[in-house]
Structure 1
Amino acid sequence: MASSSSSENQPKAVKSSSSTYTVLTRSKSKNLSVCRSADSWWDKLPDEALILVYGYLEDHDRASMSSVCKHWNSIFKTPTLWRERHFIFVGMRALDHTKKACEFITNVGPHLRRLVLECGHPVLHTARPIAEAVSTFLGHTIKIPQMRISHFKVVYLDCYHSWRFFDLSRGKLIDALSKFIRKQRTLRKLDLSGAHLTSAEGMRCLSSAAQSPARKTIHYLHIKDLFELRYPAFQDNRFRDNLARFTSLRQLYLNYLYVDELVLQVLRTNSRTSLQYFRIVVDSCEPCNHSISAYAWRDFCDGCPYAKVVFHFLGKLSTEDYRRVFARCVPIYEIDILSWDRYPSDRDPNSEDMSAVLAHIISTYSAQLVNFRLAFDHLSNEPIDSALVMLLDRCTKLKDVCINTAIRIDTVEKICATLKKKRPRVLEHLELKVRDLTPEEVARLRGIAVLSSEELGLRSVEVQPDD
């Protein structure tokens, strides 16, 4: 963060690479003068329009605009303009600018609802200042009366890589974060994804949320990659005990390595009528050797009748991995597969047969699947063209389909012909990005795109080469 010098008529400010934090203190000097005629259209501008204008401005520009007149200054203090803030702590001078951030919180803290906290990647000389800056800021924040934070997110923490060799500073950071979470009363969304904490640190942060007054108000809990890589959280009783304390979860986002039959039992007991979306990430960097039986999923469906399961697959996995995860009785809603060759994987590169995977999806979820996304940039043991056509033909509840892979132009025509023949009333969006095309095939594909947009009758159709 780098500070900006304040002019005689401009409030003090603290700038980061992405935003500006302005302390809401007005200069004692004379207000800026403007020449306005009696019938100036600015006088007739409604307050709603002025608020909209303020919303597009950086803080220092808002402050300048507020100095024009008393009315504009009153609009400047509108609470809705100060609902969200993204604070960044980075570099040797992180501590110097914490004072400005604390002053900002002191002035507009009661208006703040969404708080995003970002810690810059530390090095030997910056780990301690960053940790102390975050600790000071969070310690000050919890002392502000009438603070009603509803959304809290920590981004780019990545303790496994960024803070791996700074144990003392890292401990101070986790301590401050845990204390802040424990004091929250009105949180509705808590996002600690990508933290990569040790089991002890992760459990401490999760326990802070589970023991806070917000355990009854948190609707959205995002803990994907909360723990360091390959940690089987489902085997830890502390994880299940903490998860059981959340009684109002609507969306839960975590790794497959955190889920087993006992975790499903916890959810169906404590989030029976509230849980709506259960997002599970299956990562090729992590083992997924455990299975969840169809009976456990059936009991989960009975206990959480409104829950929709979304699977996200990252990297190249084996066909057996997919079959192990795709158990029957899963209340599936969406499948998102990113089988990207560049994504790290510890699987045998020849163990994935995407054609067989698609066939398994069709046979298991053809009457349930609503959204399907596939990004596939390498060769399968068997061509997936026919399997894709069959998927669009057999899965009768599909609403949104996005496919990015190398398929033949003839296959694109078959897909469009199949959809045209069915005249789907359910499917709303189709996106086909075709890879590895010759210039002649690109021209042919563009012609298909024009016809499909006119003939398929969908809300949105995108057929194009993947450039």
Structure 2
Amino acid sequence: MATSVSWNDIPDIALISIYSSLLDKDKLNVACTCKNWNRLFSTAKLWRHRRVVFDAKCSEETAEREIKFLNRFGHCLNRLTLNLGRPTFKSCLSISKSLECYLKRLCGCNDISIRELDLENLHMEQHWHFILSRGRVVTSLCKMIRRQKFLEAVYMAGARARLMDGCRILDALAKGRARNTIKSLYMEDFFETNMFPFRCPRYVNAMSKFLALEELHINYRYISAEILRNIANTLSRHFHNLSVVLEGDVRGIEIQPDAWMEFAEKCPLADVGAYLCTTILRGNDLRSAFVRGIPLNQLYLTSWARIDETEQRLSIFLRHLGNMYNTTLENFAMFFEHHEHIDADLLYMLRKCRQIKDLCIQARLSADTVVNIMTLQHQGKLSLRSINLTIPGLSSDDWHQIDQEKERLLTNVTDFAHIGPNEFGSSIGGSTITIDGVGPADEIPDGGDDGAIFNFQNIDVNVEISDDENDIFQPPALDHEDDDDFLM
């Protein structure tokens, strides 16, 4: 017989989880339900992250609302996301003034300890062509950043700032109070397209001032031998991850092997990850930036090119990787729609790079190549803990051949395995493996990060504002008895 459970018996942790999935307006409504739920409304965990969107329609109202939030829950805030929308000629002035007002109030709150700051896709190159408004935005950000004492992670990817504006923001980070606390810096596409900031002394000087940096996500054309040397000399005991995006022609700005060797020697804990789109490097040698001495640990390759645009380049590049990074490469991902025959070259690289632990490939391979990869793992010539092979174009006979071998050969893969025609399996000639009773591989989340820089929860802050400024983020006191029967 089912037993009734009082609403009062619901654990706080469950109620907090429910609160966390609600919009601000719904949180207020829930808080007005009963005294117990009203009590949990002020739980600090509910207000740790705030995403503030200054859009063209109601930027002033947004600033007013978010200032009230700071007054009520600012002491709980430790992760702030700022989004400036898509300003136009008519709205950029309003947005910049609203942001300035909000950040000024933020700077005046001594009990706020922001640990993560996300400047969400500012796209200043595209949207902020108006000098006065752009200058107001940059100045406001710099003033706020300088006052932060506890910043640990800053996300600035996609800002597309002009050189001087970007240097001002970096100066504020590197010379402000957070220079001793920032551990993670994400600045892919931080500057305008086709910009080479390492030629600017102010930029180089700012990048040398971080004293606690552990990981840096950056474009290849933002770094140089001098910047690597500064990192090695200043952060040798802290630095452990350099993630580099190659998004254009690097001929003439390649970092020489001796600089990488010095970096690897002075930062023994550092790993280098690289993201490379071969289409963008069309017509160029893919090997030019991948010189000897790079402690390359992760590599992500992708392309949307036609077959004639990558002819013979990919095969040569795979063999180059096998010869250069056979002792360091541990994670390899490759996503291609069209390419030349690479079966022999891929197997050559895998036989050389026996330290690879995570292998993810979407490409056209033969059934024999798939079986050979599994055989290398079975023979102990690879140390894979996860395999994800997405192989289109194979026949039913090919899949039958693979099915006969897979369970016998992949019994020592401890984490995740998927071998099939697409990432989620298929009813036509597909194959999905179950490992250690944890369920089908297509139900297991892949722990890899396919080039994604940010993973923020988007919280909608579009809350209706009442005429009384005191009732926002302040649920009314409840006079009734703590009796939940009225909820039934």
After TM superposition, is the score higher than 0.5?
A: yes
Distance of 2:181 and 2:312 partners within structure 1: 42
Query: Which residue is 2:421 aligned to?
Result: 465
Q: Among residues 343, 364, 385, which one is paired with 1:428 in the alignment? A: 385
Query: Which residue is 2:63 aligned to?
Result: 98
For residue 8 of structure 2, give the secondary structure of its aligned residue in structure 1: coil
Q: 1:401 to 1:418 in 2, by over 3 A?
A: same
Q: Among residues 173, 179, 183, which one is paired with 1:209 in the alignment? A: 173
Amino acid at match of 1:398: I
Q: 1:422 to 1:158 in 2, by over 3 A?
A: same
Alignment of 1:51-70 (within 5 A): 51-70=16-35
Q: Is the 8 A contact 1:336 1:373 kept in 2?
A: yes
Query: Which residue is 2:220 aligned to?
Result: 256
TM-score after normalising by structure 1: 0.83
Query: Which residue is 1:277 aligned to?
Result: 241
Alignment of 1:207-246 (within 5 A): 207-246=171-210
Distance of 1:336 and 1:311 partners within structure 2: 6
**Higher RCO structure (Cα 8 Å, ≥6 apart):** 2
Distance of 2:312 and 2:247 partners within structure 1: 14
Query: Which residue is 2:37 aligned to?
Result: 72
Amino acid at match of 2:223: V
Distance of 1:445 and 1:161 partners within structure 2: 48
Q: 1:246 to 1:160 in 2, by over 3 A?
A: same
Amino acid at match of 2:38: N
Distance of 1:464 and 1:449 partners within structure 2: 10
Deviation at 1:320, TM superposition (A): 5.7
Aligned residues: 416
Amino acid at match of 2:84: C
Distance of 2:200 and 2:256 partners within structure 1: 20
Query: Which residue is 1:180 aligned to?
Result: 144
Q: Does 1:168 align with 2:122?
A: no
For residue 243 of structure 2, give the secondary structure of its aligned residue in structure 1: strand
Query: Which residue is 1:395 aligned to?
Result: 353
Distance of 1:60 and 1:447 partners within structure 2: 57
For residue 25 of structure 2, give the secondary structure of its aligned residue in structure 1: helix
For residue 80 of structure 2, give the secondary structure of its aligned residue in structure 1: strand
The superposition leaves residues 155-207 of structure 1 with CA deviations (integer Å, 9 ceiling, x where unpaired) of: 121111122x3232222222212221122111000111111111111101110
Distance of 2:121 and 2:404 partners within structure 1: 42
Deviation at 1:48, TM superposition (A): 2.3
Distance of 1:319 and 1:391 partners within structure 2: 23
Amino acid at match of 1:281: V
Q: 1:352 to 1:273 in 2, by over 3 A?
A: farther
Structure 1 residues without counterparts, runs of 5 or longer: 1-38, 343-347
Deviation at 1:453, TM superposition (A): 5.0
For residue 126 of structure 2, give the secondary structure of its aligned residue in structure 1: coil
Query: Which residue is 2:444 aligned to?
Result: none
The superposition leaves residues 249-305 of structure 1 with CA deviations (integer Å, 9 ceiling, x where unpaired) of: 010111111111111110011111000101111113x54432222222121122111
Query: Which residue is 1:36 aligned to?
Result: none
Q: Is the 8 A contact 2:53 2:62 kept in 1?
A: no
Percent of aligned pairs with the same residue? 27
Q: Among residues 370, 394, 397, which one is paired with 1:412 in the alignment? A: 370
Q: Among residues 154, 157, 177, which one is paired with 1:193 in the alignment? A: 157
Q: Is the 8 A contact 1:309 1:334 kept in 2?
A: yes
Query: Which residue is 1:448 aligned to?
Result: 402
Q: Is the 8 A contact 1:308 1:331 kept in 2?
A: yes
Query: Which residue is 1:377 aligned to?
Result: 337
Q: Among residues 304, 329, 337, which one is paired with 2:293 in the alignment? A: 329
Deviation at 1:149, TM superposition (A): 0.2
Distance of 2:292 and 2:261 partners within structure 1: 8
Aligned-residue CA RMSD (Å): 2.3
Distance of 2:403 and 2:68 partners within structure 1: 55
Alignment of 1:295-374 (within 5 A): 295-316=258-279, 317=281, 321-341=285-305, 349=309, 353-374=313-334
The superposition leaves residues 394-426 of structure 1 with CA deviations (integer Å, 9 ceiling, x where unpaired) of: 2111110111122233322332233233375x3
Deviation at 1:319, TM superposition (A): 7.9
The superposition leaves residues 225-263 of structure 1 with CA deviations (integer Å, 9 ceiling, x where unpaired) of: 111111112222111210111000010111111111111
Distance of 2:400 and 2:144 partners within structure 1: 54
Q: Is the 8 A contact 1:139 1:180 kept in 2?
A: yes
Q: 1:271 to 1:446 in 2, by over 3 A?
A: farther
Deviation at 1:49, TM superposition (A): 2.5
Query: Which residue is 1:4 aligned to?
Result: none
For residue 127 of structure 2, give the secondary structure of its aligned residue in structure 1: coil
Distance of 1:449 and 1:225 partners within structure 2: 44
Q: Which has the higher strand share?
A: 1
Deviation at 1:446, TM superposition (A): 7.5
Q: 1:446 to 1:129 in 2, by over 3 A?
A: farther
Distance of 2:403 and 2:75 partners within structure 1: 52
For residue 207 of structure 1, give the secondary structure of its aligned residue in structure 2: helix
Q: Is the 8 A contact 1:220 1:251 kept in 2?
A: yes
Amino acid at match of 2:206: N
